[in-house]
Amino acid sequence: MGKDGIGQIHLKDNPSYLGQGTINFALILQIVKELGWSGFANLETDAPSKDIPADMQKNLDFIRNLQRAGTHF
């Protein structure tokens, strides 16, 4: 498919928080980076604690921490 065939990326690891389920996000984001793709990523996450703002922040923090570690779009 290549980078030109990707419109946007959807990140989810339901019913867990991002990074606490079965998906290896560091690997996935590294592959996306190696493809040279840049664009939007949507977080499609559950709210395990039922506190939607807090759970969304936790998931967003996880992705931002991966970006700071050098794994980013």
Return d(Cα 29, Cα 47) in angstroms, integer. Answer: 22
pLDDT of residue 10: 94
Percent of the chain with pLDDT over 90: 59
State the total domains in the chain.
Answer: 1
Residue 25, pLDDT above cutoff 70: yes
Return d(Cα 30, Cα 27) in angstroms, integer. Answer: 5
46-66 mean pLDDT: 95
Assigned domain for 61 exists: yes
Assigned domain for 60 exists: yes
Assigned domain for 20 exists: yes
Assigned domain for 73 exists: no
Assigned domain for 2 exists: no
Assigned domain for 1 exists: no
Cite the DSSP H helix spans in the chain.
Answer: 25-35, 52-68
What domain range is 12 assigned to?
Answer: 8-68
Residue 1 banded pLDDT, cuts 50, 70, 90: low
